[in-house]
Structure 1
């Protein structure tokens, strides 16, 4: 993961506090897990060797958002980040996640930042990188999650978001690394647009050693 670009809800906002509450709630179930800030990872493995590189990345983020700001403020346009389902997965950094709704502007932002700043080699012809934006609620190496804990996770998400979770039973709708997936019973007001905060984060070593190299509010 190394250098990553995060998009976070504005600190102190309703969305920030609600997601933070969910993360803390998951941590109480798995005391060995590590706390972290609510965020969507936009891009990883970025070329970033000094402060100038950090500033270039953040400046590009601001420019990209400014170019679509009018559309983002349109009441008929989905927020950059909104959710329609949640999952328990096998991956450490995605143990419990909220899945983002497809959003062309968020996908476009990921494409721009990856093409401009990714340190990864280009994909071969025919290969396609899949960007599945999400907000993680738990980092944990517990696999699989027991049914008792699955029920507690389900209940806590339902209570916090004030909605029902409907289990996806068709295995064809699950990815290979999903243990459980739920769809929301109704539209959730949880999600954010602008204002928000972009952060360039050095994700090396244990999570508690991760370092924010720079940030910009938009």
Structure 2
């Protein structure tokens, strides 16, 4: 990755090699204690979910051919084979930590509008409890009691949505370079492929499946990363070894 970065103009950002499993994970970032609690819960549950999947493969991750898109974050990358366990893992995390929390929150807004307000940007946000509110009389407290509702149907729909996402949207890949350059001209492509093939000692990085070259792995480290602002400013909120 360091060698390939030098081929692109504008000093592309450096980042850890990784495969994104899912984005938009639901984490409370307003309260440090709650953030830590959410991160620990998500990582622990994720490790359990991965370990519960059948060990019917040699590698969870198998690299495929080199590819490029117009998108900044998919400028140059290895495609990753759609291993059934990898797809199942992504589907579980998407359902539990992205879709389900969002859909339950949307239903809560409908059922308990009094618990929400609008922020300065017009977004619906949960009202924060103040000391003044906590000291009000019991009659006043009853006015802000949350109405409970059945989440069975929401959970069923979340399972369906996650399955659809894992089939039609999840695109596992290992990014090598982030860049705005587009398209990559033929001369640069030849240089890129030569460097990859020489570095990895393979004959063809255009092959759809590089399994025979041993390019893959099982397990690793699962990280929850706050991807806000410049790549250099991304923050790792927590990590767990998965094997």
> TM-score scaled by structure 2?
0.66
Q: Provide the rounded CA distance (Å) in 2 between the counterparts of 1:198 and 1:83.
A: 18
Residue of 71, 86, 99 corresponding to 2:55: 71
Aligned equivalent of 2:23: 44
Greater fraction strand: 1
Aligned equivalent of 2:171: 132
Q: C-alpha displacement at 1:202, in angstroms? A: 0.2
Q: Provide the rounded CA distance (Å) in 2 between the counterparts of 1:156 and 1:88.
A: 16
- The 3-state SS of whatever aligns with 1:183 is coil
Residues 169-192 of structure 1, C-alpha deviation per residue, up to 9 Å, x if partnerless? xxxxxxxxxxxxx53577221211
Q: Provide the rounded CA distance (Å) in 2 between the counterparts of 1:185 and 1:103.
A: 13
The within-5 A match list for 1:190-201 is 190-194=215-219, 196-201=220-225
Residue of 10, 34, 42 corresponding to 1:57: 42
Q: Cα RMSD over matched residues?
A: 2.3
Is the 8 Å Cα contact of residues 197 and 205 (structure 2) preserved in structure 1?
no
Greater fraction helix: 2
Aligned equivalent of 2:212: 187
Aligned equivalent of 2:230: 206
Measured at CA, do residues 200 and 166 of structure 1 come closer, stay the same or move farther in structure 2, by a change above 3 Å? Answer: closer
Structure 1 unmatched ranges of 5 or more: 1-22, 168-181
- The 3-state SS of whatever aligns with 1:71 is coil
Is the 8 Å Cα contact of residues 79 and 191 (structure 1) preserved in structure 2?
yes
Runs of 4+ residues deviating >6 angstroms: none
Q: Provide the rounded CA distance (Å) in 2 between the counterparts of 1:114 and 1:143.
A: 31
Residue of 170, 178, 197 corresponding to 1:158: 197
Residues 56-89 of structure 1, C-alpha deviation per residue, up to 9 Å, x if partnerless? 1101111012213x616xxxx2311111211022
How many residues end up aligned between the 2 structures? Answer: 175
